[in-house]
Amino acid sequence: MKQMSGITPAEWNLMECLWEKSPMSAREVVDVLSERIGWSRSTILTMLRRLTEKELIGCDDSGTVKMYSAVVDREKAVAQETGSFLKRVYQGDLGKMLCSFVESQNLSEEELAELVNLLQGCKKE
């Protein structure tokens, strides 16, 4: 299986747009992202080209209008980005990451109990 190229923070905006609705024409993507983020048409077209080159989105040009679709599903992208973050920031130590998260948040007793239940539900048999 080919390793997915990383998605930059700016590219996440475009990917979210295509995960919400695919396929979309370049014009539709421009309309959504220029309203949502304020990007220019040329910036969006450049990002469409870059994501197509990375093979994260596909372009169907068989009709009169090019239609773009996400090739990678959101769950796969999230899983890869989470793994990359864990390795880069916490040297792969999930416990350190969870402790850091819990310590930096003001979690209520109820939220902590919910987190414990969630973790217990993830135990491998």
**Domain spans of the chain, in order of start:** 9-70, 93-125
* 77 within 8 A of 8, measured Cβ to Cβ: no
pLDDT tens digit sequence for 99-116: 898 889 888 999 989 988
* 20 within 8 A of 73, measured Cβ to Cβ: no
- pTM (2 decimals)? 0.76
| DSSP result, 14-39 | HHHHHHHS-SEEHHHHHHHHHHHT--
Burial (0-12, 13-18, 19+ Cβ within 10 Å), 12: middle
| Res. 1 pLDDT band, cuts 50 70 90 | very low
| Res. 21 pLDDT band, cuts 50 70 90 | very high
Residue 42, pLDDT above cutoff 80: yes
pLDDT at 123: 74
Residue 11, pLDDT above cutoff 70: yes
| Res. 3 pLDDT band, cuts 50 70 90 | low
CA gap 17, 62 in Å, rounded: 22
CA gap 45, 28 in Å, rounded: 11
Residue 69 three-state SS: strand
Q: What is the CA radius of gyration of the chain?
A: 19
Looking at domain 9-70, which CATH architecture does it have? Orthogonal Bundle (1.10)
